[in-house]
Amino acid sequence: MSRSIHRAGCRVDHGVVLQAKRVLAVTLGALALSAHAQTQPSITPTPAAQQAPKQDAIQRLFSRVDTDGDGRLSAEEATRLPAISARFDEIDANRDGGLDPDEFHTGATAPVR
Ligand SMILES: [Ca+2]
Ligand SMILES: [Ca+2]
Q: What mean pLDDT value characterizes the chain? A: 82
Question: How far is ligand 2, taken at its centre, from the CA of residue 69, in Å?
Answer: 15
Q: Which of the ligands is closest to the CA of residue 95?
A: 2
The SS3 assignment for 73 reads: strand
Q: Which of the ligands is closest to the CA of residue 100?
A: 2
* Model pLDDT for residues 28-53, shown as the tens digit of each residue: 777 676 666 655 556 566 666 666 78
- Distance separating alpha carbons of residues 34 and 41, to the nearest angstrom: 12
Higher per-residue confidence, 62 vs 36: 62
- Whether pLDDT at 73 is above 80: yes
Question: How far is ligand 1, taken at its centre, from the CA of residue 72, in Å?
Answer: 4
Greatest mean pLDDT among 4-13, 29-38, 102-111 lies in: 102-111
Q: Which of the ligands is closest to the CA of residue 65?
A: 1
**pTM of the model as a whole:** 0.54
